[in-house]
Amino acid sequence: MVKAAVLGATGYAGAELVRLLSFHPEVEIVYLASHSYAGKKFSDIYPAMRGVCDMILSDDDISKASADADVLFMALPAGIASEAVTPELLSKCAVIDLGADFRLHDSTVYETWYKKEHKHPDLLKDAVYGLPEIHRSAIKGKRLIANPGCYTTCSILTLYPLVKNALIDTSTIIIDAKSGTSGAGRSEKVTSLYCEVNESIKAYGVTSHRHTPEIEQELSEAAGENIVLQFTPHLVPMNRGILSCCYARLKPGVGPEDVKKAYTIYDGEAFIRVSSDIPETKHVTGTNFVDISYRVDERTGNVIAIGAIDNLVKGAAGQAVQNMNIISGLDETAGLLAAAGPAF
């Protein structure tokens, strides 16, 4: 059994992680921490988990958590992990950081976009970007996994076959993405209040969203060239889900059959479903699946690739469990094969 600890267990991503780990056949949860709710039962905060996880929440004692656990999940705001994760900590347990602190290879890029000093830039060389469908072999056996962001997971996986196979003019990439409000976290914010979000849709982080350099980094590596792209996220009045509509100009001579062949790169991937049907967020809700489809517009010479994920599962907690399975030598799909419920 893998002994797991979760810091930030009562945030939306952390709570989803606890739910998944509670039903994982090869996991024992040994430590749950929540600075806001220390001393209370997890099921007091999330009553749906009564009888499933009634563990008493502790404060964020990383020393205690690392002593008890094989794998430490950190579902905390940016800036905390970069200070807390040390070589000493990694000698005790593997760390899967659901935050942004180890996703970017260059600490100066991190500090530019996140406006925070990176406390351990020396560890960036040891961190692996935890997108299994692309970096599976690098993840195996590693001690520090940077769990990708939600927008990035959806956008990178949707575009990767086109970029990897050099089918598009990468200077023309535009990503138009929508997210449910759980992506903003559980803390109290005026912009996340029901009356502010309901019956409205808005763009935010225009030209400045922090997931931009993450997407550029991974697609640049796939392309073998530096990519600068346009990414615009939107907030929509639903609880969870991300839909990424990605646009790019096809290179001369590239046609529908070339695009179709490119997406066969995902053949055999347990969590990626490439289909002719246009993805919808409700078809992946509560699951670790990525639904992808595309259209070639021969009139304009563009390709439109569309991806959908659950931002709290494949975009956060589910992907973290997938990474845990890989580094622990377990079946990669263990604890993650739930399907979406009926779409009523």
Domain identity same for 199 and 270: yes
Q: Within a domain: residue 184?
A: yes
137 & 165 share domain: no
Residues of the chain with pLDDT below 70 are 339-344
In a domain, 332, yes or no: no
pLDDT score of 179: 97
Residue 182 placed within a domain = yes
* 304 and 157 fall within a common domain: yes
| pLDDT confidence of residue 344 | 47
Alpha helices in the chain (DSSP H): 12-22, 42-45, 62-68, 81-84, 87-92, 107-114, 132-139, 150-164, 194-197, 212-223, 256-262, 318-327
- Give dist(CA 52, CA 50) in Å, integer: 5
Phi, psi of 258 (to 5 degrees): -65, -40
Cβ neighbours of residue 137 under 8 Å, at least 6 residues apart?
none
* CATH number of domain containing 100: 3.40.50.720
Q: Report if residue 333 sits inside a domain.
A: no
* pLDDT at position 341: 63
Please tell me whether residues 70 and 86 are part of one structural domain. yes
pLDDT of residue 60: 87
Is 336 part of a structural domain of the chain? no
Query: Does residue 335 lie within any of the structural domains?
Result: no
Say yes or no: 139 and 262 in one domain: no
- Three-state DSSP class for 179? strand
Contacts of 201 (CB under 8 A, 6+ apart): 178, 234, 235, 236, 237
Do 50 and 97 belong to one domain?
Answer: yes
Domain count, the chain: 2
234 shares its domain with 301 = yes
169, burial (CB in 10 Å: exposed 0-12, middle 13-18, buried 19+): middle
- Same structural domain, 185 and 303: yes
| Same domain as 79, residue 13 | yes
Residue 344 domain-assigned? no
Question: Contact, 299 vs 316, CB < 8 A?
Answer: no
122 falls within a domain? yes
Q: What residues contact residue 92 under an 8 Å CB cut-off, 6+ apart?
A: 66, 67
Q: Are residues 260 and 284 in the same domain?
A: yes
* Mutual angle of helices 107-114 and 212-223, in 10-degree steps: 150
Instruction: Determine which one of 53, 93, 150, 246 is catalytic.
Output: 150
Q: Which domain holds residue 296?
A: 151-309
62 and 83 together in one domain: yes
- ∠207-175-261 over CA atoms, to 5°? 150
150 is catalytic: yes
| Rounded distance between C-alpha atoms, residue 179 and residue 146, angstroms | 21
Name the residue among 115, 123, 117 with its Cα closest to residue 91: 123
CATH code for position 244: 3.30.360.10
Do 25 and 128 belong together in one domain?
A: yes
